[in-house]
Structure 1
């Protein structure tokens, strides 16, 4: 539960726009491997993630580690209707909530304007290299704590890895790591965005 709170806290809206976002119309699926640690705790989670740049939606599934890889819940963020849905298909529950900001301004997906590039880099070898770029920037939480963020993205601005250090707060300074892995283009089953009747 604390990891989910930390994840949601890191989805803070950056009001200044973005410098690097996945290009319009891009769709991909991946897993988000998240680690959060401070002086009192360390937590890890693995979430299924689906990004639909065509329809301005994305999904974050339940923590697969906590549910023994059998996730029955997901949260849908639909920026066309500006509505979020937290759904548990096993319990048949659904909670709707309003979305703030713009689709392109989600901090864990896009790099905000004002970020400084640390230069190009690549992963892999020879013809199988993945060209990328790392950016750094600072942001402030609603309660005044400071984030220092390093974000690595592909040339098309698809996120690869983000590290975020935060000063102060419960548990003291903290470190948040987010890695995207098993990324594949497209969305195999668009029905993952269907809103169940009990919503």
Structure 2
């Protein structure tokens, strides 16, 4: 069963600690973009550690209020106009209701931590925010590029009964979607709108502004 987890990333080494930027603001991402997400998740439950390591494609379309995540053998389509998601795996489709809106800007409750630079004098400049205020038992940070507000890295730690570490990096991001068919919902196997009355809500973790992952 595919489940929703927080966007996260194992942060790489930097040459400097975050520095306060008095001109920083809660920026907004481009309205359309796509690229690769590389995720690592560790969850401890009942004394057993489970680790997943995945590379996926993510497609973000705020103009049409939709997003899609594509991995090996599955596709997750999120329709934020209808607040419905569809997980399509091997010819089967599982619909879910969503409760959280699609975000375009860094949420106001994400507290600004500082600015830093990855990789050296000509490296990537990013602004970093805390996601601790998103939900109880959540600690973490997310980084966006300082010039065009592209999400880069996020680390989220769950401190509840089943502790977890979710990490993701966004790479090779482009400000476009070359193949809009990734948002298509096949009917069948997916149900029609009139068949969705009894669909259950999708559990949502509040640490992540963007993507849904398996």
Q: TM-score, normalised by structure 1?
A: 0.72
Mapped contact 2:39–2:55 kept (Cα < 8 A): yes
- Structure 2 unaligned residues grouped into runs of 5+: 8-25, 191-214
Given the alignment of the two structures, is residue 46 of structure 1 paired with residue 36 of structure 2, yes or no?
Answer: no
Deviations 1:112-158 (A, max 9, x none): 322222222234566x65432011131465xxx51111110123332
Partners of 1:124 and 1:157 in 2: CA distance? 18
- Structure 1 unaligned residues grouped into runs of 5+: 12-18, 63-70
Compute the displacement of 1:43 (Å): 2.3
Report SS of the residue matched to 1:191.
helix
Match of 1:83 in 2: 84
Match of 2:29 in 1: 22
Alignment of 1:111-150 (within 5 A): 111-123=106-118, 129-139=123-133, 141=135, 145-150=136-141
Report SS of the residue matched to 1:118.
strand
Deviations 1:159-190 (A, max 9, x none): 100011121323xx322111111222201111
The 4+ residue runs of structure 1 with deviation greater than 4 A are none
Partners of 1:169 and 1:48 in 2: CA distance? 31
CA 1:72–1:151 in 2, change beyond 3 Å: closer, same or farther? same
Two-structure CA RMSD over aligned residues (Å): 2.5
Partners of 1:140 and 1:79 in 2: CA distance? 20
Partners of 2:74 and 2:43 in 1: CA distance? 27
Given the alignment of the two structures, is residue 175 of structure 1 paired with residue 165 of structure 2, yes or no?
Answer: yes
Higher helix share: 1
Larger Rg: 2
Report SS of the residue matched to 1:133.
strand
CA 1:139–1:146 in 2, change beyond 3 Å: closer, same or farther? farther
Compute the displacement of 1:48 (Å): 1.3
Q: TM-score, normalised by structure 2?
A: 0.67
Mapped contact 1:111–1:151 kept (Cα < 8 A): no
Mapped contact 1:61–1:74 kept (Cα < 8 A): yes
Residue-pair matches, total:
166
Match of 2:179 in 1: 189
Kindly indicate whether structure 1 or structure 2 has the higher relative contact order, using CA contacts under 8 Å at least 6 residues apart.
2
Deviations 1:25-73 (A, max 9, x none): x2111121111224542321222111112111111122xxxxxxxx232
CA 1:115–1:46 in 2, change beyond 3 Å: closer, same or farther? same
